Amino acid sequence: MAKSLSHKQAAQKIQKLIQEIEYHEKKYYVDNNPQISDYEFDILVKELERIESQFPELITPESPTQRVGEQPLEGFVSIEHRTPMLSLDNCYSEEELREFEERIKKIIPAKKIEYVSELKMDGLGISIMYRNGKYSQAVTRGDGFRGDDVTPNVKTIRSLPLVIDNPHEIEVRGEIYLPFKSFKKINQEREKTGEPVFANPRNAASGSLRLLDPKAVASRQLDVVLYSIFIEGEERPSQWENLKTLKKLGFKINTNSLSCANLDEAISFYKEWYERRETLDYDVDGVVIKVNSTEQQKLLGSTAKFPRWSISYKFPARQATTKIKDIIIQVGRTGALTPVAVLEPVSLSGITISSSTLHNQDEIKRKDIRVNDTVLIERSGDVIPKVVSVMKDRRTGIEVKFSFPSECPICHSQAFRPEGEAIYRCTNPSCPAQLKGSLLHFASRRAMNIEGLGWSLVDQLLEKNLVEKIPDLYSLKYEDLVELERMGPKSSENLLDEIEKTKKRDVTRLIYAIGIRYVGERTAQALAIHFENLDALANASVEELTQIEDIGPKVAESVVFFFKQPENKELVSRLKDAGLNFVLKAVEREGEKPLDGQNLVLTGALSSLSREEAKEMIEEMGGKVTSSVSRSTNYVVVGESPGSKLEKAQKLGIPTLNEKEFLKLVKKD
Ligand code: IVH
């Protein structure tokens, strides 16, 4: 190993190692298809470093060991772009997009206009120059005319080739972005050190690119995709060919791009990604639709700001700014006092948001949220909106700090915050707010699914003392209901029918519905599958419970505690007397189907049966198989190598079943 090499041998060895490392870097960072382990890769790099340290004169700036410069920058030098980096015209509807095509057709007589649809990465525009096949300069978009020279920082991006197989002067343009994974990691670290967190990946990418120390930049794990290429004295006939050329030269392009024969295909692309964008590992804020033909692009030209041959068709925004009008306290079914921000209504991803949970006292303190503050709110996916950050520079002095109440706002009992917990709780077990919360939870769609039993009806039932505990629902009479506001004969009958139906529901739902702390749908399902009977569950010990996969001591103790309470013993026995189904699959024996009305999604391969067989089984049991995961999915059945559906299920909190659990649920044994 340590035998000394001649200068010539060293040069050859270095060249060979560089080629090998470049190859594997590309496989790993660009193609997402690593050919060797990280360990084997590290050995190659270490070997290269070792030889380079013996022959420092052989080190070139393009060596993979030279991605991270040693010297911190003193500042950024402003550089003029060779051609302005234009921005893109925006639209938010199909109608506006069709108008874009109308404008094009006025200039281009051609009947057929082809397009390329690309995802609009939410990052920062960058221009990168290569000279003599070597990485030479990277400049931010800046104001479109001039940007900052960030050459050493961009060099740290491992997916970017430092050498390309084309000696001409080449400019490539694209987007620097931060994958969600890196974004989360950065914010976690910042939280630990008490630094303010970044509001979104874009801000984090921008902050990272502007760090003066390339070593710090390297640790941020930025990435870059390219979508434009300009080669001196050469031109390709279309945008699609541009993408192919970029790929051939070793650049990372967004492979989720589509060549479209017409605008309708581009619209389908938009719709598809609007649905699927949650499954991506990076943020996209729309799609960019580009006229494919270079010749047509030239005919169209640009305005002072935008090219006329391209438009960005934006997804509805996920972030917005609004004002906090008030902070109120809501009391949940477990007695938790949750602060909620009352917001000036604002539209976010297509729906109007007028409130947002602030979680707990610590969260308000940490973010320093005050009444009258202007805040940035965010909705990712179908998830409930949250306050991301306070725009402190918009404060005017009328902001008021929130003082957390020491009593329950509903029953005025003392509120108590157990040590080590973030939540204050109302200490009164018969607090009406708790009862109301438990009733609503019991009736909710994913629990016993009592259609029609919502907020206003529950309020009336409590006020008129028609219901004091959950089992009282089963003694409600037509005469009581028909007297209530907005409850005619028809809706009273319907409600009684709905309540009757719950008696036949799956015991899994019942376990979830009775509201044991820490027992969500997934845990309820594990418990139902293990015990097959609610009475058996009620008698289980902590030891027995912790033996079940996925059940830890916290949940086990909570289950045992729940069934020990006299009021819960009474609850269980009264529900049994009312005739509710306590046994797994008992419903089936009565000739009804256990998956009645349930939507299931299959992902990955099951080992003991084909997808078709699984589908048949589900349908036989009354369920439906749907192709994509949404809020109305009841279960996702997960096999070997599951796809993005699993991720989506986890994001939306939809329960998943492995093969064994699935078979237990559907098999008639
Ligand atoms: S093309 C002249 N394609 O969006 C055409 N831009 O709002 C210039 N962007 O400044 C841009 N993804 O930084 C293009 N696939 C994509 C893009 C994209 C993100 C950014 C780019 C541009 C901004 C315009």
User: Residue 49: pLDDT above 90?
Assistant: yes
Mutate to test the pocket of ligand 1, among 81, 120, 315 (most ligand atoms within 8 A of CB): 120
**Which tokens go with 364?**
């308000």
Mean pLDDT, the chain, rounded, equals 91
pLDDT of residue 572: 95
402-439 residue pLDDT tens: 999 999 999 999 998 888 888 999 988 788 899 999 99
User: Residue 231: pLDDT above 50?
Assistant: yes
Give the mean pLDDT of 449-468.
Answer: 92
Give the mean pLDDT of 589-598.
Answer: 65
Atom from ligand 1 closest to the CA of residue 312: 7
Helices (H) and strands (E) in the chain, counts: 25, 22
On whether the CB atoms of residues 5 and 15 are closer than 8 A, the answer is no
Q: What pLDDT band is residue 380 in, cutting at 50, 70 and 90?
A: low
Write down all domains in the chain, each with its CATH number in brackets.
2-66 (1.10.287.610), 78-314 (3.30.470.30), 319-401 (2.40.50.140), 427-587 (1.10.150.20), 593-665 (3.40.50.10190)
pLDDT of residue 667: 67
pLDDT of residue 590: 45
Work out the number of other CB atoms within 10 angstroms of the CB of residue 138.
Answer: 25
518-529 residue pLDDT tens: 999 889 988 998
User: Residue 291: pLDDT above 50?
Assistant: yes
Give the mean pLDDT of 57-64.
Answer: 95
Mean pLDDT lowest for which of 12-21, 383-392, 453-462?
Answer: 383-392
Work out the number of other CB atoms within 10 angstroms of the CB of residue 418.
Answer: 9
Distance 88 CA to ligand 1 centre (A): 6
Atom from ligand 1 closest to the CA of residue 122: 19
User: Residue 591: pLDDT above 60?
Assistant: no
Distance 502 CA to ligand 1 centre (A): 53
Mutate to test the pocket of ligand 1, among 92, 119, 227, 310 (most ligand atoms within 8 A of CB): 227
Asked whether 253 lines ligand 1 (CB < 6 A), one says no
pLDDT of residue 329: 96
Q: To which H or E segment does residue 438 belong? A: helix 432-443
Distance 68 CA to ligand 1 centre (A): 27
Asked whether 120 lines ligand 1 (CB < 6 A), one says yes
159-194 residue pLDDT tens: 999 999 999 999 999 999 999 999 999 999 998 888
Asked whether 45 lines ligand 1 (CB < 6 A), one says no
User: Residue 623: pLDDT above 90?
Assistant: no
Asked whether 126 lines ligand 1 (CB < 6 A), one says no
Q: What pLDDT band is residue 586 in, cutting at 50, 70 and 90?
A: very low
98-156 residue pLDDT tens: 999 999 999 998 778 999 999 999 999 999 999 999 999 999 999 999 999 999 999 99
Phi-psi region of 650 (alpha: psi -120 to 50; beta: other; left: phi over 0): alpha
User: Residue 569: pLDDT above 70?
Assistant: yes
Atom from ligand 1 closest to the CA of residue 306: 2
Q: What pLDDT band is residue 657 in, cutting at 50, 70 and 90?
A: confident
pLDDT of residue 598: 84
- pTM higher than 0.85: no
**Which tokens go with 625?**
């198989």
On whether the CB atoms of residues 151 and 138 are closer than 8 A, the answer is yes
Alpha-carbon distance 639 to 461, whole Å?
45
- Out of 8, 105, 120, 192, the active site residue is 120
DSSP one-letter code for 221: -
Which range, 249-253, 277-281, 606-610, is most confident? 249-253
Distance 312 CA to ligand 1 centre (A): 8
User: Residue 264: pLDDT above 90?
Assistant: yes
Give the mean pLDDT of 458-469.
Answer: 92
User: pLDDT > 90: what percent of the chain?
Assistant: 70
User: Residue 364: pLDDT above 70?
Assistant: yes
User: Residue 248: pLDDT above 80?
Assistant: yes
pLDDT of residue 600: 93
On whether the CB atoms of residues 544 and 563 are closer than 8 A, the answer is no
Atom from ligand 1 closest to the CA of residue 310: 5
Distance 472 CA to ligand 1 centre (A): 60
Distance 617 CA to ligand 1 centre (A): 48
Asked whether 142 lines ligand 1 (CB < 6 A), one says no
On whether the CB atoms of residues 65 and 45 are closer than 8 A, the answer is yes
Residue 120 is a catalytic residue: yes
